[in-house]
Amino acid sequence: MTEDRNDYGFLNETKNMMPEPDAMVPTQTGRAETNCHTVSAANARELQRLATLTEILRGWIWETDTEHRFVYLSDSVTRYAGRPPEWHYGKTREELGNLNLDQTHRQLYERQIEAREKLGPFDFVRYQNGQPMRMRTIGLPQFDADGHFTGYCGVAFEVHADGKNGLGNRRGEPRRKVARTATILEQAAPTPIPCVVLDVSASGARLDVDASAHLPQNFKLLIDIDGSERQCEVVWRNDNAVGVRFREPG
């Protein structure tokens, strides 16, 4: 075999010293795989940051479009709503029954979204394991690079009891499972609305009501078995489930 020598008689090792082409310049496939790995790692880190933030907040992050329909919620919403994020998508707060505000705050809410101002803070109630949780939501308007409004982005988080808020100091009240049939009566309603009282405490109850039924904000609840009555105010609604707070008569 003829040795490959240079003009000075030394073995020509240049070829052996040169790295293989794949080692010199990453192939397109190699770059793509490296980039995908980097992006995947970055996404995983972002998800971890998000999970940490929502755990600290004890709540979730949300985003709506220009029509105020939910387009994103962090996974932590499942803990409070009992539904995955995707179930909320395309729905407004009104459609989800999460906008039970008094007249003053309702007008403020409508003015803020109309003017595309900072939203809230507004308080609402969620139930977890039969216990009411007072939540608060705040949002900021979002705009694209051309200044066009794209929706709102915000957070909803649990507000701890401080003894000053009517909802806060009821949070530890025990609730009893009762499963009693009842009737919702309202002066302006043409016909009574049947329902089932699922559980009850000294301050409120959880009802099962047909999701298609139009429920007034305030109504009288008549328990069928004993004819007892309670004045109620709706504080949250999620499909068939409705949370009410008992009000003093008059």
Q: Please report the DSSP string for 110-165 in residue order.
A: HHHHHHT--EEEEEEEEEETTEEEEEEEEEEEEE-TTS-EEEEEEEEEE----SSS
Q: Per residue in 15-54, pLDDT tens?
A: 443 444 444 444 454 555 555 555 577 777 777 787 787 7
Give the chain's domain count. Answer: 3
Residue in the structure block whose two tokens are 């559980």: 199
Structural domain includes residue 37: yes
Q: Are residues 144 and 132 in the same domain?
A: yes
Domain that holds residue 37: 21-55
Instruction: State the DSSP code for 107.
Output: H
Structural domain includes residue 212: yes
Residue 132, pLDDT score: 66
* Domain containing residue 180: CATH number: 2.40.10.220
Residue 221, pLDDT score: 93
Most confident of 118-122, 147-151, 237-241: 147-151
Last residue of a domain, one of 169, 195, 224: 169
Last residue of a domain, one of 169, 194, 209: 169
Q: Are residues 189 and 132 in the same domain?
A: no
Structural domain includes residue 10: no
Residue 105, pLDDT score: 77
Q: Are residues 35 and 69 in the same domain?
A: no
More confident residue, 100 or 79: 79
Q: In what order do the strands lie in the sheet with 119-128?
A: 70-73, 59-64, 149-158, 131-143, 119-128
Phi-psi region of 151 (alpha: psi -120 to 50; beta: other; left: phi over 0): left
Q: What is the full DSSP assignment across 188-219?
A: T-SS-EEEEEEEE-SSEEEEE--TTS---SEE
Residue 157 above 90 pLDDT?
no
Residue 39, pLDDT score: 57
Structure tokens that stand for 225 in this block: 């078995």
**Confidence category of residue 56, pLDDT binned at 50, 70, 90:** confident
Average pLDDT in the chain? 76
Q: Are residues 104 and 132 in the same domain?
A: yes
Angle at 74 between CA 64 and CA 207, to 5 degrees: 85
**Confidence category of residue 70, pLDDT binned at 50, 70, 90:** very high
Structural domain includes residue 9: no
Q: Are residues 135 and 165 in the same domain?
A: yes
Structure tokens that stand for 248 in this block: 């003093």
* Domain containing residue 132: CATH number: 3.30.450.20
Structural domain includes residue 6: no
Structural domain includes residue 14: no
Q: Are residues 144 and 103 in the same domain?
A: yes
Structural domain includes residue 198: yes
Q: Are residues 156 and 96 in the same domain?
A: yes
Q: Per residue in 97-119, pLDDT tens?
A: 766 666 777 888 899 999 999 99
Residue 65 above 90 pLDDT?
yes
Q: Are residues 144 and 64 in the same domain?
A: yes
CA distance 113 to 142: 12
Q: Are residues 155 and 99 in the same domain?
A: yes
Residue in the structure block whose two tokens are 């600290």: 56
Contacts of 117 (CB under 8 A, 6+ apart): 111, 141
What pTM was computed for the model? 0.50
Last residue of a domain, one of 148, 169, 190: 169
CA distance 98 to 68: 13
| Residue in 207, 199, 202, 204 with CA at minimum distance from that of residue 183 | 207
Q: Are residues 64 and 78 in the same domain?
A: yes
More confident residue, 100 or 73: 73
SS3 label, residue 30? helix
Structural domain includes residue 12: no
Q: Are residues 224 and 121 in the same domain?
A: no
